């Protein structure tokens, strides 16, 4: 994981300074930008492997920077924000950031997330267009729309399958209720509270003990997360 | 109020990141960095004072 290049963008120079030092200490090469236009330019010229991007930037808002960066090249982006009300929009489908970190944060946390997002994206690159996904004892075939647990077929409703498929494509990442609803319910047939019921039914089919979920865990007050049992 | 919360979080981010950096030995507590921390804390103080006075003007009792 050494010699990866990270572009950090924040209008607070003091934060650029500290975060940059932490990342350099971990062997990353660091490029810093303190406003939106500078971020877009440095992104083109320095070819970073990952971008840590503050949402609130002078010159060009972070959301716009994200769009331009993504238009140019598909690199992982971690958003920094002091505005929790923006998080859904930023990490959701609309803008598609890979992760976010709320301010204030611990710089160690930023380093840990940078590493984990890089690992995730590198793993994804090495496993292109897999039709079968394996999470613990669960196998999901998203072409045949089939699910096996410990090799045994499980019957799921189309909605349960969609929920499982969305969660399984973001292992380790918390999806908010809104994100799940948005991705699962193309035709608006899944509503907020029924989501919980779908999750409960899904757990009953795939969890060894649905009362103590090991695969689909609840992140209280936020949403759900799929994890790979240890 | 939302804007105040947002600004306080930004200043806290500066203070916390720097102090953690000092503790972890990642950055030196130079006078410039100590000033950055003090400045951030000072801004929080100002924001809180303003919020408190706005609250008093609205007649909301302070708890």
Range in A124-128, A139-143, B27-31 with the lowest mean pLDDT:
A124-128
Where in the sequence of chain A do the CATH 1.10.10.10 domains occur? 132-226
Is A142 a residue whose pLDDT tops 60? yes
Taking only Cα atoms into account, the Rg of chain A, rounded to an integer number of angstroms, comes to 19
Query: For residues A15 and A30, is the Cβ–Cβ distance under 8 A?
Result: no
How far does the CA of residue B45 sit from the closest CA of chain A (Å)?
16
E strands along A171-215, which residues? 174-176
Confidence of residue A1 (pLDDT cuts 50, 70, 90): very low
- The average pLDDT across A218-225 equals 89
| Tokens standing for residue B26 | 């990642």
Q: Which residue has the higher pLDDT, A146 or A54?
A: A54
Range in A26-40, A92-106, A117-131, B12-26 with the lowest mean pLDDT:
A117-131
Query: Residue A59: which region, alpha, beta or left (left: phi > 0; alpha: psi -120 to 50)?
Result: left
Range in A192-196, A225-229, B32-36 with the lowest mean pLDDT:
A192-196
- What angle is formed at CA A193 by the lines to CA A191 and CA A198, rounded to 5 degrees? 80
Is the complex ipTM more than 0.95? no
- The average pLDDT across A123-139 equals 74
**Which of A86-100, A185-199, B33-47 has the highest average model confidence (pLDDT)?**
B33-47
- The average pLDDT across B18-42 equals 96
CA dihedral A72→A76→A81→A83, nearest 10 degrees, is 80
pLDDT value of residue A153: 85
pLDDT value of residue A77: 92
pLDDT value of residue A93: 45
User: Which H, E and C letters describe chain B, residue by residue?
Assistant: CHHHHHHHHHHHHHHHHHHHHHHCCCCCCCHHHHHHHHHHHHHHHHHHHHHHHHHHHCCCCCC
User: Which residue from A minimizes the CA distance to B34?
Assistant: A14
Mutate to test the interface with A, among B6, B10, B11, B19 (most CBs of A within 10 A): B10
In this structure, whether the domain defined by A132-226 belongs to CATH 1.10.10.10 is answered with yes
CATH class of A5-126: alpha beta
Structural domain spans, chain B: 2-57
Residues 6+ apart with CB under 8 A from A159: A184, A185, A189, A190, A198
User: Which residue from A minimizes the CA distance to B36?
Assistant: A14
pLDDT in tens, A35-93: 999 999 999 999 999 999 998 898 998 889 998 998 888 899 998 988 877 766 666 54
Please count the other Cβ atoms lying within 10 Å of the Cβ belonging to residue B43: 17
- Assess B57–A contact: CB distance below 8 Å, yes or no: no
pLDDT value of residue A187: 54
User: Which residue from A minimizes the CA distance to B22?
Assistant: A18
- Assess A25–B contact: CB distance below 8 Å, yes or no: yes
Is A21 a residue whose pLDDT tops 60? yes
pLDDT value of residue A94: 61
- The average pLDDT across A98-123 equals 89
Residues 6+ apart with CB under 8 A from A19: A8, A10, A52, A107, A110, B17
- The average pLDDT across A200-220 equals 92
3 state DSSP class of A89:
helix
Facing residue for B17 by CB, picked from A25, A82, A107: A107
Where in the sequence of chain A do the CATH 3.40.50.2300 domains occur? 5-126
Compute φ and ψ for A153, nearest 5 degrees.
-65, 140
Query: For residues A110 and A68, is the Cβ–Cβ distance under 8 A?
Result: no
Facing residue for B26 by CB, picked from A22, A103, A105: A22
């Amino acid at each position: 994981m050494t010699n990866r290049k990270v572009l950090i963008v924040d209008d607070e120079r003091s934060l650029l300074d500290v975060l940059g030092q932490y990342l350099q200490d971990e062997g990353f090469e660091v490029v810093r930008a303190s406003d939106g236009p500078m971020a877009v330019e440095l992104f083109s010229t320095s070819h970073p492997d990952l971008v840590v991007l503050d949402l609130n930037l002078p010159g060009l808002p972070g959301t716009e920077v994200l769009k331009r960066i993504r238009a140019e090249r598909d690199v992982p982006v971690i958003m920094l924000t002091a505005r929790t009300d923006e998080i859904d929009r930023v990490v959701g489908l609309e803008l598609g950031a890979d992760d976010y970190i709320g301010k204030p944060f611990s710089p160690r946390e930023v380093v840990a997330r940078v590493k984990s997002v890089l690992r995730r994206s590198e793993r994804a690159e090495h496993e292109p267009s897999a039709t079968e996904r394996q999470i613990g004892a669960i196998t999901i075939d998203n072409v045949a729309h089939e699910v096996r647990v410990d090799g045994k077929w499980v019957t799921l409703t189309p909605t349960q399958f969609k929920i499982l498929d969305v969660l399984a494509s973001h292992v380790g990442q918390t999806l908010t209720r809104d994100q799940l609803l948005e991705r699962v319910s193309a035709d608006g047939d899944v509503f907020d509270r029924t989501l919980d019921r779908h999750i409960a039914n899904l757990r009953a089919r795939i969890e060894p003990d649905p009362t103590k979920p090991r695969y689909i865990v609840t992140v209280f007050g936020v949403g759900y997360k799929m994890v790979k049992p240890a | 109020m939302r804007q105040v919360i947002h600004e306080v979080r930004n200043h806290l981010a500066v203070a916390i990141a720097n102090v953690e950096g000092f503790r972890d030995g990642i950055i030196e507590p130079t006078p410039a960095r100590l000033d950055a921390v003090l400045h951030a804390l000072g801004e929080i103080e100002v924001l809180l004072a303003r919020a408190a006075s706005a609250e008093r003007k609205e007649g909301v009792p302070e708890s």
